[in-house]
Chains A and B, each alone.
Chain A
Amino acid sequence: MNVAPRLTGLVGDMTAPALLELDHVSISYPTPDGILTAVEDVSFKIAAGERLVLLGPSGCGKSTLLRAVGGFLKPSAGELRMNGRRIGAPGPDRMTVFQEFDQLLPWRTVLGNVRYALERGKSLPRRDAEGIARRWLERVGLKNFVDAFPHTLSGGMKQRVAIARAFALEPALLLMDEPFAALDALTRRQMQDELLKLCEETGNTALFVTHGIDEAIRVGTRILALTPHPGRLAATFDVPPEVRVRGSSGFGELERRIQETVFSAAGIDHV
């Protein structure tokens, strides 16, 4: 079982064709007190079919990195490439599931939200969009809520809608920005399991951001740990399928290793 961290700056299988490539990326932005460097000199690659998790405590710039991949932020140095092309504006090839519940359009129903995304993001005619939307909403267990408005749903259900919307557009790369952080512990576990199932069924490539070690092991095939202030890559861990099972000895072992190598080194006891 390979759970040993490889402490290198540039990680990823160099032979596999990279879907996403970050090349010495730094991101900084101005604050009232001066220029803040959120991310410094981060390089990694994601191959098709991988689920890469950016793991780290708050302030390690993991969400900033995800936004840059989404095209919402520009790097101050380095380059982000998707299929060899530099990332510019946001686009539906990188559908994002955000942590905040207000990512759904409150004036559209559950079905309307997913259908609208398909109409605009994939330029599908209304009829086709509606069919695909219904199929995906059924898949995330919201068959009985297609005509509900988002404000009548619970937080977990809103996130299900957002996940259905993201998957429905069949993005080349699925971006997830701590999508379960605002949910209660029970719902979060359930959502992790269901997301894992969807990912495995569709074989979608994903970039997932979290500060939970257990969540990272559960959903990822590879984990990149970051240290804060400014965000830098600290270590990478491969997650073999047998380790992904909650309660298995490998799971606990990997969790302990990540805890020791990353969070203890950064002077953080527990996250």
Chain B
Amino acid sequence: MSDIAAPKLVHAPALRRALAGTPWRRFVILAGFALTWELYACWLDNALLLPTLGATLSALWSAVLSGELPNRAATSLRVLITGYALGVAIAAVLTTLAALSRWGNEALGLLTSMFNPLPAIALLPIALLWFGVGTPSLIFVIVHSVLWPVALACYSGFLAVPPTLRMAGRNLGLSGGRFVAEILVPAAFPQILSGLRIGWAFAWRTLIAAELVFGVSARSGGIGWFIYTSRAQLETASVFAGLLTVILIGLVVEGVIFRSLTRITVQRWGQVQT
């Protein structure tokens, strides 16, 4: 057959190219929000109810410099990542079984419909009974908060894989785990990725909530514990500094990790539009 020529591309104007792909609109919105906060707090003039943005930032800065907040954040993240990884791993095993057998399929359908609506934090009393006050209880509730949304997303992603693509895979003689790993998982990656995102958000808020309920111990508590103790000591600026840290970590994970993961996978593969 004769060769088909590659299409020719023309470059866009310089300014448009420089701005394209940067979230400059977001920075404008963020600046507007910061200004509103500062002005309203000044007008309110009650540091106990709403400290100014400046006071919050300086509380954040001194908490970072003293090493307390980084330690707290590291404690929280360590627990979070352990629980998240465990939850995703269990979800992977469950959905693989569900994709390969009818029994696994029914079991996963039943379990997700039972446990997905159950807020993870509601299991905390049970976790405390079983594992006592400490990290294992936190990990237990985090696993629960991650497992079901991720499993549900993987599973519905698998169901949405076009039958032709499945046949193309089986045509090569693929079956079992290899078929799941090399055909179903990448084909369902848009849904899996959004499941991982939802799982991350659930895990994060479950952890902070659990830390607010019980602080493990003052020595080894996470960000939730930092917020709780700051409130108890009426250091509202530090409470806000703790909240800001939670938001910042969330933004970094979403904006850097998940965004790049989306860009190098499903966007490149044309499975989602930009």
Contact = CB atoms under 8 A, between A and B. Distances in A.
Interface in B1-40: 1-6
Given A107-B265, A120-B174, A139 B1 contact: yes
Interface in A221-248: none
Given A96-B171, A98-B164, 11 more contacts: A70-B167, A94-B171, A98-B168, A103-B164, A103-B165, A107-B186, A121-B171, A121-B172, A149-B268, A157-B4, A160-B1
Contacts of B171: 70, 90-92, 94-96, 121
Nearest to A165: B168
B172 A117 contact: yes
Interface string A188-204: 00000010011000000
Interface in A116-147: 117, 120-121, 138-145
B33 to A, nearest CB: 37
Contacts of B265: 107
A143 B167 contact: no
Contacts of A104: 168
B162 to A, nearest CB: 5
B271 interface: yes
A149 B270 contact: yes
A150 B168 CA distance: 15
B183 interface: yes
Contacts of B162: 100, 102
B270 A106 contact: yes
Interface residues of B, number: 27
A72 B172 contact: no
B270 A145 contact: no
B78 interface: no
**Chain B interface mostly:** loop
B3 to A, nearest CB: 5
B170 interface: yes
A198 B1 CA distance: 9
B3 A141 contact: yes
A144 B3 contact: yes
Contacts of B5: 144
B6 A145 contact: yes
A152 B187 CA distance: 17
Interface string B183-201: 1001101000000000000
Nearest to B271: A106
A89 interface: yes
A150 to B, nearest CB: 7
A145 B269 CA distance: 15
Most chain B beta-carbon neighbours within 10 Å: one of A96, A106, A157: A106
A95 B173 CA distance: 10
A81 interface: no
A141 B173 CA distance: 28
Interface in B65-106: none
A151 interface: yes
Given A105-B186, A107-B189, A194 B1 contact: yes
A104 B164 CA distance: 9
Given A70-B167, A72-B170, A103-B164, A150 B1 contact: no
A104 B187 CA distance: 11
Nearest to B166: A72
B175 to A, nearest CB: 7
B215 to A, nearest CB: 44
